[in-house]
């Protein structure tokens, strides 16, 4: 683990519709670290991640990626992003390979995929255990498999930094273990990881540091908090209503 | 085949084939980003262009291209900076476009709504030599964009947020999609008419989806269907003396119904094959069926 900072936020403030969501966040992620961003719904953890990748404008403060101010950062192939989604599907059928291939575009010049690019896509599918579903439509996948496809899409560019927004939301136990295994491989290979989590779950042994947000401020930055009470029980599972009003109703765990 | 002996029918068939290719080719990206009715909106805006063309005695095809491109760019800008609610702003653009068309054409010397009808519902037999030139040039642009940039457009239409993090110029690609859709509308204007354009952009894609699992196959089948129905509709209208635009659209919907019926046993067989391929006794790996019942949903 070196001292080189991969992500650096200093005094970052952000608003969503004139409501302050981040009120001066400081956060540094160094090379090789695995940092979990925790907090209740509305604490600003997703917004924090979205400011880093430039999806939410910053009203004050500075963000650097690999030592470059984010505004001037262009080397996006070094960043693998897994957005918070329950589905990888769009309005038209697409195969698992087609979706994962779009993650490779950051390394492909003029959108032309060469043999090495197709190899990288196949490797990424193998890493999340979806190689046998490569030619299937993403519409035919379970919630956990959707998430694995989204992670493979981020891995296809062979990034140095992985940013994941709630990768475990709506994921069945079998897929959670595959995801933990995938992440372990990435960390062993030297990847830096920042992930938004609702709870540490099966990823707990991998996490070096936990940053807890509350009301847009950093409440805790240090070793991951110990789970207590019922939350510490193995197999304990949360079911939270994450979806904003008007979104698709949540599916029961029975089907996914 | 006396149909090919007439110059006007040669032009009509060429225009029809080009529309059959271009409309589904850009339409698939609109369907993918769930903006299936954007073509319809652009069609309304294009009416102002047709009206202006008559008023200023310029080519209505080129004027409609110019105005609908501006309208499409405006729609994209509204989507970015959406201060007003997007759908309300778009509604104003649609109906403003239609009202503008009716107003300008009636201001034009000797103009009346009758001139507009051939643009609203298509008038293949009156496609002129210069129309064909314009249609060829515009169609070449649409094919170049939709095929040449298919990976980029796929990525942006599938997941805009992710596409931005891969460093793709998302805004430029969105604008290009909007402009290409606008160009396609004006290409299709003389063939199926502004009010029916959207059908050719959306329905072949929806029909192809019934059979396919991949984007590439959906694209290919949708374009093949588009060419099939535009040619079939044009030939039918020649022999049966029925309006080509309406014939083409009804044929497309017919193709959708036939393919939907064919797809049911196909989907069932695929589901069986998938079930056979899954290891038994692993409930975590079961798939979500394509159609979920109401009982599967839980309110939050």
Tens digit of each residue's pLDDT (9 = 90 or more) over A29-71:
999 999 999 988 888 888 999 999 988 889 999 999 999 998 8
Handedness of CA A44, A45, A48, A50 (dihedral sign): negative
Q: Give chain B positions within 8 Å (CB) of A102.
A: 151, 154-155, 158-159, 162-163, 166
Handedness of CA A90, A95, A100, A103 (dihedral sign): negative
B111 within domain boundaries: yes
B206 within domain boundaries: yes
A255 within domain boundaries: no
Q: Give chain A positions within 8 Å (CB) of B268.
A: none
In the 8-state DSSP scheme, what is residue A248? P
- Please tell me which of the candidates B167, B285, B297 has its beta carbon nearest to residue A74: B167
Does residue A238 carry a pLDDT above 60? no
- Please tell me which of the candidates B166, B274, B277 has its beta carbon nearest to residue A105: B166
Instruction: Kindly report the nearest CA distance between residue B151 and chain A, in angstroms.
Output: 6
Nearest CA in chain A to B212: A93
- As a whole number, mean pLDDT of residues A217-246 equals 60
Among B191, B187, B188, B194, smallest CA distance to B124 is for B191
**Spatial contact of B262 and B269, defined as CB atoms under 8 Å apart:** no
SS3 B287: coil
> Among residues 1-40 of chain B, which lie with CB inside 8 Å of chain A?
28, 31-34, 36
- Could you give the CA distance from residue B181 to residue B29 in angstroms, rounded to a whole number? 10
Report the mean per-residue pLDDT for chain A.
83
A82 within domain boundaries: yes
Instruction: Kindly report the nearest CA distance between residue A82 and chain B, in angstroms.
Output: 8
A247 within domain boundaries: no
A239 within domain boundaries: no
- Could you give the CA distance from residue B191 to residue B175 in angstroms, rounded to a whole number? 25
Q: Taking CB atoms and an 8 Å limit, are B33 and A256 in contact across chains?
A: no
What pLDDT was estimated at residue B286? 41
What pLDDT was estimated at residue A252? 42
- Could you give the CA distance from residue A72 to residue B191 in angstroms, rounded to a whole number? 48
What pLDDT was estimated at residue B151? 94
Q: Give chain A positions within 8 Å (CB) of B214.
A: 93-95, 98, 135, 137
Instruction: Kindly report the nearest CA distance between residue A106 and chain B, in angstroms.
Output: 5
Could you list the beta-strand ranges (E) of chain A: 5-16, 19-30, 34-39, 58-65, 68-69, 79-82, 161-165, 192-196, 209-214, 217-222
B74 within domain boundaries: yes
- Could you give the CA distance from residue A28 to residue B291 in angstroms, rounded to a whole number? 45
SS3 B78: helix
Q: Which of B29, B30, B151, B218 to mutate to test the interface with A (most CBs of A within 10 A)?
A: B151
Residue scoring higher pLDDT (A1 or B40): B40
Residue scoring higher pLDDT (A232 or A194): A194
Q: How far is CA A29 from the centre of its chain?
A: 14
Q: Give chain B positions within 8 Å (CB) of A135.
A: 213-214
Q: Write the burial class of residue B5 (CB in 10 Å: 0-12 exposed, 13-18 middle, 19+ buried).
A: exposed
The percentage of residues in chain A with a pLDDT greater than 70, rounded to a whole number, is 86
B237 within domain boundaries: yes
Q: Taking CB atoms and an 8 Å limit, are A90 and B36 in contact across chains?
A: no
What pLDDT was estimated at residue A229? 52
Cα torsion through A167, A168, A170, A173, rounded to 10: 140
The CATH number linked to A153 is 3.40.50.300
Q: Taking CB atoms and an 8 Å limit, are B285 and A142 in contact across chains?
A: yes
Domain that holds residue B92: 2-278
Residue with tokens 């394509």: B290
Q: Give chain B positions within 8 Å (CB) of A55.
A: 161, 164
Cα torsion through A5, A159, A182, A81, rounded to 10: 90
- Of A112-116, A127-131, B114-118, B273-277, the one with minimum mean pLDDT is B273-277
A166: how many CB neighbours lie within 10 A of its CB? 22
Q: How many domains does chain A have?
A: 1
Domain that holds residue A175: 5-232
**Do the strands A192-196 and A34-39 form a parallel or antiparallel pair, or are they unpaired?**
parallel
**Spatial contact of A43 and A218, defined as CB atoms under 8 Å apart:** no
Q: Write the burial class of residue B175 (CB in 10 Å: 0-12 exposed, 13-18 middle, 19+ buried).
A: middle
- Could you give the CA distance from residue B192 to residue B230 in angstroms, rounded to a whole number? 9
What pLDDT was estimated at residue B112? 78
What pLDDT was estimated at residue A140? 86
Cα torsion through B269, B34, B24, B126, rounded to 10: 140
- As a whole number, mean pLDDT of residues A90-98 equals 92
**Spatial contact of B212 and B262, defined as CB atoms under 8 Å apart:** no
Q: Taking CB atoms and an 8 Å limit, are B296 and A251 in contact across chains?
A: yes
Does residue A134 carry a pLDDT above 50? yes
Instruction: Kindly report the nearest CA distance between residue A47 and chain B, in angstroms.
Output: 13
The CATH number linked to B66 is 1.10.3470.10
Q: Taking CB atoms and an 8 Å limit, are A83 and B161 in contact across chains?
A: yes
Q: Which of A91, A104, A149, A176 to mutate to test the interface with B (most CBs of B within 10 A)?
A: A91
**Spatial contact of A35 and A193, defined as CB atoms under 8 Å apart:** yes
Q: Taking CB atoms and an 8 Å limit, are A93 and B214 in contact across chains?
A: yes
B220 within domain boundaries: yes
**Mean pLDDT split into 10-residue runs, chain B, 300 residues:** 81 92 95 88 91 88 91 85 70 88 88 81 82 90 95 93 91 92 89 88 94 94 96 91 90 94 81 64 45 44
B162: how many CB neighbours lie within 10 A of its CB? 24
A244 within domain boundaries: no
- Please tell me which of the candidates B28, B159, B285 has its beta carbon nearest to residue A83: B159
Among A154, A155, A168, smallest CA distance to A38 is for A168
Q: Taking CB atoms and an 8 Å limit, are B214 and A81 in contact across chains?
A: no
B283 within domain boundaries: no
SS3 A61: strand
- Could you give the CA distance from residue B203 to residue B20 in angstroms, rounded to a whole number? 12
- As a whole number, mean pLDDT of residues A227-254 equals 47
Q: How far is CA B259 from the centre of its chain?
A: 19
Q: Taking CB atoms and an 8 Å limit, are B213 and A252 in contact across chains?
A: no
Q: How many domains does chain B have?
A: 1
Q: Give chain B positions within 8 Å (CB) of A98.
A: 154, 214-216
Contacts of A101 (CB under 8 A, 6+ apart): A113, A117, A118, A121, A156, B151
- Could you give the CA distance from residue A52 to residue B6 in angstroms, rounded to a whole number? 63
A-B C-beta contacts closer than 8 Å: 136
Nearest CA in chain B to A173: B284
Among B101, B95, B93, smallest CA distance to B47 is for B101
Report ipTM for this prediction. Answer: 0.83
Contacts of A229 (CB under 8 A, 6+ apart): none
B89 within domain boundaries: yes
A92 within domain boundaries: yes
A27 pairs with which residues across the strands? A9
**Spatial contact of B207 and B220, defined as CB atoms under 8 Å apart:** no
Instruction: Kindly report the nearest CA distance between residue A165 and chain B, in angstroms.
Output: 12
Tell me the H-state helices in chain B.
Answer: 7-32, 38-55, 60-81, 86-107, 113-121, 129-148, 150-158, 160-165, 170-189, 197-209, 215-240, 244-277
B16 within domain boundaries: yes
């Amino acid at each position: 683990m070196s001292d080189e900072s991969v992500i650096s936020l200093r005094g970052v403030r952000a608003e969503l519709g004139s409501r302050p969501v981040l009120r001066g966040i400081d956060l540094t992620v160094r090379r090789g670290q695995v940092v979990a961003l925790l907090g209740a719904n509305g604490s600003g953890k997703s917004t924090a991640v979205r400011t880093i990748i430039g999806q939410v404008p910053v009203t004050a403060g500075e963000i650097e990626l690999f030592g470059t101010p984010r505004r001037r950062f262009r080397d996006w192939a070094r960043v693998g992003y897994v957005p918070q989604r329950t589905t990888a599907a769009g309005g038209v059928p697409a195969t698992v390979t087609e979706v994962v291939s779009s993650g490779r575009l950051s390394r492909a010049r003029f959108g032309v995929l060469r043999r090495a690019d197709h190899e990288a896509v196949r490797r990424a599918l193998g890493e999340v255990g979806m190689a046998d579903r490569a030619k299937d439509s993403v519409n035919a996948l379970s919630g956990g498999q959707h998430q694995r496809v989204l992670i493979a899409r981020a891995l296809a560019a062979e990034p140095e930094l992985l940013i994941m927004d709630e990768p475990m939301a709506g994921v069945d136990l079998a897929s959670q273990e595959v995801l933990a295994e995938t992440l372990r491989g990435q960390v062993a290979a030297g990847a830096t990881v920042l992930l938004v989590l609702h709870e540490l779950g099966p990823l707990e042994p991998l996490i070096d540091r936990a940053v807890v947000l509350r009301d847009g401020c950093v409440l805790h930055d240090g070793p991951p908090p110990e789970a207590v009470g019922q939350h510490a029980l193995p197999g304990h599972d949360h079911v939270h209503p994450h979806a904003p009003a008007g979104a698709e109703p949540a599916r029961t765990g029975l089907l996914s | 085949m006396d149909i090919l002996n007439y110059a006007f029918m040669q032009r009509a068939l060429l225009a029809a084939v080009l529309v059959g290719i271009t409309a589904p080719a850009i339409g698939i990206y609109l369907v993918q980003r769930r903006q299936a009715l954007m073509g319809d909106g652009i069609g309304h805006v294009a009416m102002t262009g047709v009206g202006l063309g008559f008023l200023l005695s310029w080519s209505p095809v080129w004027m409609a291209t110019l105005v609908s491109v501006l309208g499409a760019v405006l729609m994209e800008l509204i989507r970015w900076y959406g201060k007003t609610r997007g759908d309300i702003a778009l509604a104003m653009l649609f109906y403003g476009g239609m009202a503008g068309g009716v107003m300008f054409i009636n201001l034009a010397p000797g103009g009346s709504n009758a001139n507009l009808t051939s643009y609203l519902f298509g008038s293949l037999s009156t496609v002129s030599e210069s129309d064909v030139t314009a249609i060829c040039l515009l169609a070449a642009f649409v094919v170049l964009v939709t095929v040449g940039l298919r990976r980029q457009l796929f990525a942006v239409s599938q997941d805009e947020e992710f596409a931005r993090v891969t460093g793709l110029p998302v805004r430029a690609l969105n604008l290009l999609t909007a402009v290409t859709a606008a160009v396609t509308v004006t290409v299709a204007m003389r063939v199926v008419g502004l009010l029916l354009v959207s059908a050719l952009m959306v329905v072949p894609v929806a029909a192809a989806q019934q059979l396919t699992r991949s984007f590439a196959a959906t694209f290919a089948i949708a374009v093949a269907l588009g060419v099939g129905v535009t040619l079939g509709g044009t030939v039918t209208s020649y022999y049966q003396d029925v309006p080509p635009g309406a014939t083409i659209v009804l044929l497309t919907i017919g193709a959708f119904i036939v393919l939907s019926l064919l797809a049911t046993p196909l989907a069932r067989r695929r589901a069986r094959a998938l079930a056979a391929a899954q290891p038994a006794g692993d409930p975590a790996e079961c798939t979500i069926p394509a159609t979920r019942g109401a009982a599967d949903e839980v309110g939050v």
